[in-house]
Amino acid sequence: MNMIVTPASPATPNGTTRPQVRIVIVGHVDHGKSTLVGRLLHETGSLPDGKLEMLKAVSARRGMPFEWSFLLDALQTERDQGITIDTTQIRFRTNSRDIVLIDAPGHAEFLRNMITGASQADGAVLIIDALEGVRDQTRRHGYLLHLLGVKQVAIVVNKMDRVDFSAERFAEISDEISAHLNGLGVTPTAIIPISARDGDGVAERTDRISWYKGPTVVEALDRLEPARPLEALALRLPVQAIYKFDDRRIVAGRIESGSLIAGDEIVIMPAGKIAKIKTVESWPVTPIAGRQGAGRSVGITLDRELFLERGDIIAHATAAPRETRRLRARIFWLHDKPLAKGDQILVRSGPKESRASVVAIEKAVDPGELESRENKAIGRNHVGEIDISLSSPIAVDSYTENPRTGRLVIEVSGRIAGGGLVLSVDAGQRAVPVDIVPVESALRPDERSARYRHNGAVVWLTGLPASGKSTLAKALERRLFTNGGSPILLDGDTLRAGLNGDLGFSTADRSENIRRLAEVATHLARNGHIAIVAAVSPAREDRATARRIADIAFREIHVATPAEVCEGRDPKGHYKKARAGALASFTGIGNDYERPEAAELVIDTSTRTVAEAADEIEQMLKATGVLFDEIVDLAANI
């Protein structure tokens, strides 16, 4: 029996509408995390009956003074060693929030537990001992909070009693930790002086900190915001499984972002196959109507039998993720053996798993150290940036586009060894999507060329920085326009400000920059415009890719001004900076520019004027059938 129902929305548990916020308390070992937690539970009236008395009795039996931290150290081993071992989740309430507190351990050895705890948190409290100040583990935890995407961080300066509640000492620590966090793009929501043992600043402002006017810890927690669902982003439904328990073929997974409804047209990535959602299945009532949003675990059926498998990503056809075999990630590393170039790893992105190898370690630092020394490999508890080459294509987003699908986990021998954020995706090795049919323009190319008096083309100016590419490009643009044509200038630097803003200057990113330039230029050329591209494009391989993409519309011009002349001009001051070592990966002062061997035209701007050079380009464009000004005898060129 099939009936369509919309799931009812019952009241929240306990009949309340209080937001639930998950927080983690982190910081250097012995700076007082467990004491603060114990104190918070007591101050908010959250302890079970008899718990405090029981612990006091236990302390007395052992002949030890009572410690607030005993509340959490429920395990025998912990009391014996005096350190917190693992994440404990405890609940309490502030005025307007239900807080779930994840007590993350601070001992260096137990960083993986801190990450396990903090990865589930909406906000964090970073605790610092007023006497000891900011320590390596404080900095490391701050860095990891940033990597884990925890943006709400309150700072607590504890043990103020040990520094006589000195406002100066408090200001010193405030400045130091603010500087560290601001460098990571994290702004503390509050910085609070407290004594967790005595209670100052936890739930009330005592006389001893009368100079402090900000919120107490409880008030700061009360202002935290719960995590927002990601409905506003593009649909991402990673396929967890395909079930065929009966005559239905149900595609099951959790909507990580966006939303869906029966009837939606979707694309299955990385294959690029298109289908429609037939039904949204459920139990006990099925199918269900209504839109399903981010966070829901759903099951859908499709309107056609397609091959799909665990790890595929279902998206709307208009906003699909990119398919790639290369990506760059910023990761933290937890494995004993450091991660090095050439290592074979397993990458997990949601349910998708893919074997991969580390192509390059771009950065490797210990986030705990003040002076970040660059290492060759990423050691245990360190962070870094890596380039990964995947053995099979995956569909993935960069972290800035989608925080849920833009993160990945790395496994080594079946055990999670690290994780991190996808910084950029190199879609250079693209598969042609099977069912994506580009929409044709309403105009035929010959309609445009009749008006502009030229065919579409990609005029590609390559050469050293300051060789005169942009100057020539602009002169050519003006001239073609004056003659009634439709030139469009694409400068490498211009696109980097927007479309290519996610790309850096690594080899992989430069290739991707060129690929995108070529794609955009080719689209313009196919629609009858002359796209003038001015880009250093030093790699022969990248220019060959551009030529492949633009195909017969491609015209390469090598602006072959001698290197010393280019450096003499230096309009942007880049050569000067590069010589001073302040500009990494700058083409020009090394031998990294690969000269074209079969350019349609070679121009040395040091021996002719701009107008003369523009003439030469125009002649070439006429001779190769782009411009119509003269009747071109094509046969003469054969």
Partner 1 sequence: MDHLDQLEAQSIYIFREAFGRLKKIALLWSLGKDSNVMIWLARKAFFGRLPFPALHVDTGKKFPEMYRFRDHYGKEWELDLRVEPCPPIDAVDPTLPPAARSAARKTEGLKMALAKYGFDGLIAGIRRDEEATRAKERVFSPRGLEGNWDVRDQPPEFWDHFNASPPQGAHLRIHPILHWTEADIWAYTKRENIPIIPLYLAKDGKRYRSLGDQDITNPVASTASTIDEILAELEQTKVPERAGRALDHETEDAFERLRVAGYL
**67 belongs to the binding site for partner 1 (CB under 8 A):** no
Minimum CB separation of residue 140 from partner 1 in Å reads 15
Name which position in 34, 44, 113, 279 contacts partner 1 (CB under 8 A). 113
d(CA 401, CA 234) in angstroms, rounded, equals: 9
Q: How far is the CB of 327 from partner 1 (least distance, A)?
A: 17
Q: Any idea of the CA torsion for 71, 76, 78, 79, to the nearest 10 degrees?
A: 70
Q: Backbone phi, then psi, for 238, in 5-degree steps?
A: -70, 135
Q: 171 to 230, contacts with partner 1 by CB under 8 A?
A: 229
What is the nearest approach in angstroms of partner 1 to the Cβ of residue 483?
A: 58
Part in contact with partner 1 (CB under 8 A); list of ranges 163-171, 236-244, 501-509, 527-535: 236-244
Sole window of 85-93, 484-492, 519-527, 605-613 interacting with partner 1 (rule: CB under 8 A): 85-93
Integer Cα distance of 511 and 505 in angstroms:
9
Q: Which of 280, 266, 394 is nearest to 319 (CA)?
A: 266
Q: Per rule CB under 8 A, is residue 243 in the interface with partner 1?
A: yes
Q: Which residue has the tokens 């010589």?
A: 579
Site map 120..159 versus partner 1, x via CB under 8 A? x---------------------------x-----------
Decide the pairing of beta strands 88-93 and 273-281.
unpaired
Cα Rg of the chain (Å, integer): 31
Stretch that binds partner 1, among 109-117, 382-390, 451-459, 500-508 (CB under 8 A): 109-117
Question: 130 in helix, strand or coil?
Answer: coil
Burial of residue 101 (number of CB atoms within 10 Å: 0-12, 13-18, 19+): buried
Mask for 315-334, x = binds partner 1 (CB under 8 A)? -------------------x
Stretch that binds partner 1, among 134-142, 175-183, 193-201, 244-252 (CB under 8 A): 244-252
Q: Which of 1, 168, 245, 318 binds partner 1 (CB under 8 A)?
A: 245
15 binds partner 1 (CB under 8 A): yes
Q: Does 637 bind partner 1 (CB under 8 A)?
A: no
| Beta carbon of residue 45, minimum distance to partner 1 (angstroms, whole number) | 8
Residues in contact with 504: Cβ distance below 8 Å, sequence separation at least 6, in sequence order: 424
From 166, 174, 178, 282, residue interacting with partner 1 (rule: CB under 8 A): 282
Contact 417, 380 (CB under 8 A): no
| Region of 34-42, 280-288, 371-379, 434-442 interacting with partner 1 (CB under 8 A) | 280-288
Out of 219, 222, 281, 600, the only residue in the binding site for partner 1 (CB under 8 A) is 281
Distance CA 350, CA 148 (A): 15
Q: Which of 250, 308, 553, 620 binds partner 1 (CB under 8 A)?
A: 250
Tell me the C-alpha to C-alpha distance, in Å, between residue 484 and each of 417, 480, 622: 61, 7, 15
CA distance 367 to 143: 6
Helices 540-550, 507-526: crossing angle, 10 deg rounding = 20
Of the pair 81, 619, the CB lying nearest partner 1 is at: 81
**272, 293, 492, 596: residue in contact with partner 1 (rule CB under 8 A):** 293
Contact 574, 583 (CB under 8 A): yes
- Would you give the binding string for partner 1 spanning residues 406-445, x where CB under 8 A is met? -x-x----xxx--x--------------------------
Binding of residue 402 to partner 1 (CB under 8 A): no
Q: What angle do CA 300, 303, 308 make, to 5 degrees?
A: 65
Among 348, 382, 516, 529, binds partner 1 (CB under 8 A): 348
119 binds partner 1 (CB under 8 A): yes
DSSP string covering 41-109, please?
HHHTT-SPTTHHHHHHHHHHHHT----GGGGT--SHHHHHHTS--S-EEEEEE-SS-EEEEEE----GG
SS3 letters across 500-558: CCCCCCCHHHHHHHHHHHHHHHHHHHHCCCEEEEECCCCCHHHHHHHHHHHHHHEEEEE
Q: Which of 44, 116, 138, 605 binds partner 1 (CB under 8 A)?
A: 116
* Residues 30-59 interacting with partner 1 (rule: CB under 8 A): 47-49, 51, 58
Q: Reduced to 3 states, what is the DSSP secondary structure of residue 494?
A: helix
Q: Which of 151, 208, 254, 316 binds partner 1 (CB under 8 A)?
A: 254
| The one-letter amino acid at 588 | G
Position 295 contacts partner 1 (CB under 8 A): yes
Q: Is 301 helix (H, G, I), strand (E, B) or coil?
A: strand
Q: Which is nearer to partner 1, 309 or 447 (CB)?
A: 309
CB of 331 to partner 1, least distance (A): 12
573 binds partner 1 (CB under 8 A): no
Instruction: State how far the Cα of 349 lies from the Cα of 355, in Å rounded to an integer.
Output: 11
Residue in 34, 69, 87, 462 binding partner 1, rule: CB under 8 A: 87
* Dihedral (CA of 87, 93, 95, 96) sign: positive
**Nearest-approach distance from CB 298 to partner 1, in angstroms:** 9
- Pick one of 299, 367, 384, 485: the residue that binds partner 1 (CB under 8 A): 299
- Whichever of 254 and 540 has its CB closer to partner 1, that residue is 254
* Proportion of the chain in helix, strand, coil states, percent, rounded to 5: 30, 30, 45
Cα gap 507→539, rounded to integer Å: 9
Site residues (CB under 8 A) for partner 1? 9-15, 20, 47-49, 51, 58, 72, 74-77, 85-91, 112-113, 115-116, 119-120, 148, 229, 240-241, 243, 245, 248, 250, 252-254, 281-284, 286, 293, 295-297, 299, 310, 334, 348, 351, 407, 409, 414-416, 419
